[in-house]
Copies of this chain bind each other. A is one copy, B any other.
Amino acid sequence: MKRFLDLADFSREQILDLLALAQSLQDHPQPRALAGKILGLVFLNPSLRTLASFQVGMSRLGGDSFVITPGQGTWQLETRLNAVMNGAAAEHVREGIPVLASYCDALGVRAFADGKALQSDLNETFFGMIDGLCDKPLINMESAMNHPCQALADWRTLDELRIPKRSKFVLSWAYHPKPLPLAVPAAILHMAAMRGMEVVVARPDGFALPPQIMAKARVAAASAGGSVNETSDRTEALAGAQVLYAKEWGSTLHYGDAQGDSRLRAGLADWCVNERWFTGALPDAKLMHCLPVRRNVAVADEVLDGPRSLVRLEAFNRLAVQMAVLHRMLA
């Protein structure tokens, strides 16, 4: 495996193989599998789980890693092609990425959406550039519109809990003071569709996921025997739900327009998940969230601290599935 950028690049069988490898590495540790191998980790944005779990994953497999955080101890990186670099950035990714790639055996890169032009972010303009500059195996540690490591971990969590494939999986918008990227909702939507679930996206008007993202998920759902729908009616969405996956994201109607987004979300603070949301759901319905989560803003304490919450387990599973990805790439 040379690239791990998008679950959609793999067949369902390949994903199931990766998940089986994750389980196998947990049952039968291979502490020398990646001896002598080095993973470079480039974080253009903050991280806790990804930062810790990728380093640990390499350690647990006998390899090593290093971390580069542009702007903090490292030069700020320019990303625009043909830029006249007379601003804050001292180095261009066109130099930075190939150089870092030359030092390691695989590279992980985190680069959030630019958040200005929707089409450019949908095109993964920046990550596409990274892809072209990196001649070593490359891992997407969250890009403009994807977060395949999170999606794979969540798939494993659903499997571990024996959540039936045909059950109802509600991906719901949740409140946040700022417009967050679409990477996680897009990746999780695709994952649930690819797993064959009955997926419903619940979001207020103005927060619909882009048609391209929805269409891509519908193709995956059709192939896996599931479905993808969307609604702005939370009660309808949650009726009979087995899983509520809460996630904050920005308005797609006002993409790149902070004021427009702000006006739209001003009245939506009640999109903070609490126990009442689960009234019409299955009795043992679960709450998922990729973390970090703003308590009592996106999800109430009562849910996060109650028996529905899978959020810690999801985070634990990041390590397991990423070890499988690293093993497949480097062993």
Contact = CB atoms under 8 A, between A and B. Distances in A.
B74 A47 contact: yes
Q: Kindly name the residue among A59, A103, A301 whose own CB sees the greatest number of chain B CB atoms within 10 A.
A: A103
* Stoichiometry, copies per complex: 3
Given A43-B73, A74-B48, A86-B177, A103 B66 contact: no
Nearest to A91: B292
A158 B70 CA distance: 29
A266 interface: no
B51 A297 contact: no
A56 B70 CA distance: 18
A95 B293 contact: yes
A311 B122 CA distance: 32
A56 B94 contact: no
Contacts of A69: 73
Interface stretch (A77-85, A210-218, A226-234): A77-85
Contacts of A98: 312
A278 to B, nearest CB: 20
A130 B55 CA distance: 22
B315 A53 contact: no
B75 A46 contact: yes
B96 A294 contact: no
Nearest to A294: B85
Contact of A315 (B56, B94, B99, B311): B99
Contacts of A70: 48
A117 interface: no
B74 A73 contact: no
22 contacts: A38-B56, A38-B59, A47-B73, A48-B70, A48-B74, A48-B75, A48-B96, A52-B104, A56-B103, A56-B104, A69-B73, A78-B295, A84-B297, A85-B294, A85-B296, A86-B294, A92-B293, A94-B295, A94-B305, A95-B292, A99-B316, A102-B319
